[in-house]
Every structure is written in structure tokens, then in C-alpha cells.
């Protein structure tokens, strides 16, 4: 994964431009930023290894080499577990 760093001035420039966007887009931006802020206050964090696994699996889903379980497969597992 490529790391990208912005200066505070670059961030401020983008945030200033957001204020020129249509109200609906400004609301979208505010919602996304609020969600990011809420995630920062979450006490749960992935380890570096867990985060890498998430990226690996995401890429595998995109490549079609991994798939989600069907509803039937999930139901079968619950049944085997007696739940």
C-alpha cells in the first residue's frame, strides 16, 4: 500500500474548496469526516497483521479468488453448531 502524506496547508486548501461545493456534497464530506473522527475514538484497533489480512482478502474478492459464503452455507454451519 502506498503511503500518502499531505501538509496542513494542502489539507486546508481542500477543506476550503469543500465550502464551494453544492450543499449535498458538503453534507457528504461532513458525514465522511465525522465517521472517520468517530473511528479514531474507537477503542478497538486492528494490528498491522490484521489490517494486512483485510487488504489481502479485499484484493482476493476483487480478483474473484475468494467469495462470501451463501446464506445456505451459513445456515448449515449454524445448524452443525446447534444454533
Per-residue pLDDT of the chain (83 residues; tens, 9 = 90+): 567 889 999 999 999 999 999 999 999 999 999 999 988 888 888 899 999 999 999 999 999 999 999 999 999 999 999 98
Quick one: pLDDT at residue 1? 55
Q: Sign of torsion, CA 43 49 52 57?
A: negative
Q: How far is it, in rounded angstroms, from Cα 9 to Cα 75?
A: 52
Residue 61 contacts residue 67 (beta carbons within 8 Å): yes
pTM of the predicted protein model: 0.47
Quick one: pLDDT at residue 53? 95
Amino acid at each position: 500500500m502506498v503511503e500518502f502524506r499531505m501538509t496542513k496547508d494542502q489539507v486546508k486548501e481542500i477543506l476550503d474548496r469543500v465550502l464551494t461545493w453544492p450543499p449535498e456534497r458538503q453534507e457528504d464530506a461532513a458525514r465522511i469526516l465525522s465517521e472517520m473522527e468517530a473511528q479514531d475514538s474507537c477503542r478497538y484497533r486492528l494490528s498491522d497483521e490484521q489490517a494486512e489480512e483485510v487488504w489481502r482478502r479485499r484484493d482476493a474478492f476483487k480478483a474473484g479468488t475468494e467469495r462470501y459464503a451463501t446464506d445456505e452455507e451459513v445456515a448449515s454451519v449454524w445448524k452443525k453448531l446447534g444454533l
